[in-house]
Amino acid sequence: MPEILLSTLNARYTHASLGLRYLFANLGVLRAQSEVIEFTIAMRPLDIAEQVLAKQPKIVGFGVYIWNVAETTAVISLLKMLQPQLIIVIGGPEVSYEAEGQIISERADYVISGAAEESLRALCSQLLNGQAPKEKFIHSPLIPLAQLSLPYEHYTDTDLKQRFVYVEASRGCPFKCEFCLSALDKTAYPFELGHFLSEMDQLWKRGLRHFKFVDRTFNLKIATTQTILEFFLERLDAETFLHFELVPDHLPDALKDCIQRFPAGSLQFEVGIQTFNPAVQALISRKQDNAKSIENLAWLRQHSKAHLHTDLIFGLPGEDLASFAKGFDQLVALRPHEIQVGILKRLRGAPIIRHTEGFGLIFNPYPPYNILATDRIDLFTMQQMNRFARYWDLIGNSGRFEYSLNSLLGETPFARFWVLSEQLHQRSGQTHQIALPRLFKLVHEIALSDLGLDEAFTEQLLADYARSGQKGAIPFVPGLRQRALQQAATDARKQRQVRHALDSDS
């Protein structure tokens, strides 16, 4: 039985915790007495407590994040009730700042802030040697990355086959965007590149093909970015998939040349735009060349095969609905594959809190600490925007409305989708668990009755529905069944292929 248990509650089973594996890799001689065990927030706290206690550990460490703090608090409370002598250590972003006074901090025995690889090892050594520190709150100093043992060998074969595997070529961020905890970093620190790539090679040889990089600024140093991309180009196969977060206004020609060599389906770029409003950018200390960002996104869409996931944040201080709508329309015009409409959250420690009084920021006191109102956005508009974001995921980001989306959005995408989202809510009363046939039916009704579309749109929607795989009657065209629609779509596709062949011959 392990004396030390390292644990966290992931959002989903498919998420494998990189942080836990770093802690485990850096326990030194204590690693032989330790074990990693992961749960999900969907599990009952009592079931988690049962599994933890069955291991009979002396020390349990929990990684605490914004998405699991409530559930982890419940688990720790149960553990302390059932086995008071069990030593509970917590760490992670949610308890690295403003930890004192939190219920979870009160229930735990020790709270480690910051990067805890060395602090946790030292604490566990003291505890197992009967030398319990008097201080409950332990601050971790900045660790030179060269001193860390890398964690990648501790991903299991099951992890590699069934879960997202996260890697990082650097830590930290040089930018100071106030909504982000990385604003507190001094800069970005790279891992030694040769050693890092050697670890990636080992993962590759073990069969891993999907690599999700968590670096905040993957394209900060272009020479390093190119070297990493070239590493994967040399090994490229049909299953390769790489995810990177890009700085939007930094895409020199040398990097473009490299990106162009990746085939479709192998690259995904997460590009944080957040806001196009220069006054808001200045207010939150975000440095972004909007013209260059727009130029780079247009280039990526037109000249690369990368999948583009872009981000906007609603509720930033100083931004009203009209400003956000303008930015949304600008981004839609660039045709990224996805636009994530995020709602501002108050991460503990993030400098955004300094604007609370000046801009009337009201945050939810409970996780996920989302913005409820500002001096420019009232609660009701904020709630409408929450629904807008959810429906946008269902329709705009899902890929299910490929043929009909442009007609839905027209020349004023935000305004039209605002109408669509409000009508969807009025008619369904739901933002989740809407059956796909019903969603298609509602979209069709609203498009014709509220957006002024005609039967040409119906044809586009039928083409989308044909791709959906649903069986039986078409919900928005009485008397038409999916089998007939699929055959029509097949015939139309064959006709297009014949025309294309004739055009090519001529």
> pLDDT value at position 482?
72
139 and 238 fall within a common domain: no
What is the number of domains present in the chain? Answer: 3
- Cα(189)–Cα(169) distance, integer angstroms: 9
Question: CB–CB of 347/363 below 8 Å?
Answer: no
> pLDDT value at position 462?
93
Question: CB–CB of 240/278 below 8 Å?
Answer: no
- Which residues of the chain fall short of a pLDDT of 50? 496-506
312 and 411 fall within a common domain: no
> pLDDT value at position 490?
62
> pLDDT value at position 422?
98
Q: What is the pLDDT of residues 178-187, one digit of tens each?
A: 999 999 998 8
> pLDDT value at position 37?
98
> pLDDT value at position 492?
53
219 and 338 fall within a common domain: yes
Question: Containing domain of residue 498, as a range?
Answer: 401-506
pTM of full prediction above 0.85: yes
414 and 285 fall within a common domain: no
Provide DSSP, 66-79.
Answer: TTTHHHHHHHHHHH
* Angle formed at CA 248 by CA 246 and CA 251, multiple of 5 degrees: 85
- 159 in any annotated domain: no
> pLDDT value at position 488?
59
- Cα(218)–Cα(188) distance, integer angstroms: 10
- 220 in any annotated domain: yes
> pLDDT value at position 486?
66
> pLDDT value at position 403?
96
Paired strand residues for 370: 345
- 387 in any annotated domain: no
Which amino acid is present at 273?
A: I
> pLDDT value at position 504?
38
- Cα(310)–Cα(336) distance, integer angstroms: 7
210 and 326 fall within a common domain: yes
- 27 in any annotated domain: yes
Q: What is the pLDDT of residues 228-275, one digit of tens each?
A: 999 999 999 999 999 999 999 999 999 999 999 999 999 999 999 999
Residue whose tokens read 């930094």: 250
69 and 136 fall within a common domain: yes
170 and 90 fall within a common domain: no
